[in-house]
Amino acid sequence: MDNKNLFQQAKDAINQLMNKQDQATESEQQAAKEAIRAAYQDASPEEQQQLQQFEQQLKNNNQLR
């Protein structure tokens, strides 16, 4: 799987959580965390920064535990 695909999957998972607001399940939250971690390993420095911002945004919204 290429880097852009992993990064896009992470962004998609984050967007899904953001759209669900407080209705995200534990498994959806876990999937988003795993997608972020997988994408982060092969991401460019700019993408890594974006992923960190996404993760922090989800944590601030209590959508990632």
Reported as a pLDDT band with limits 50, 70 and 90, residue 65 is: low
Each residue of 8-58: pLDDT tens digit? 998 888 888 888 767 778 888 888 889 999 999 889 999 999 999 988 887
- For residue 62, the Cα-to-chain-centroid distance in whole angstroms is 13
Neighbours of 6 (CB within 10 A): 21
- Cα-based distances in Å from 62 to 24, 42, 53: 10, 26, 14
Each residue of 53-63: pLDDT tens digit? 988 887 877 65
Report yes or no on whether pTM surpasses 0.95: no
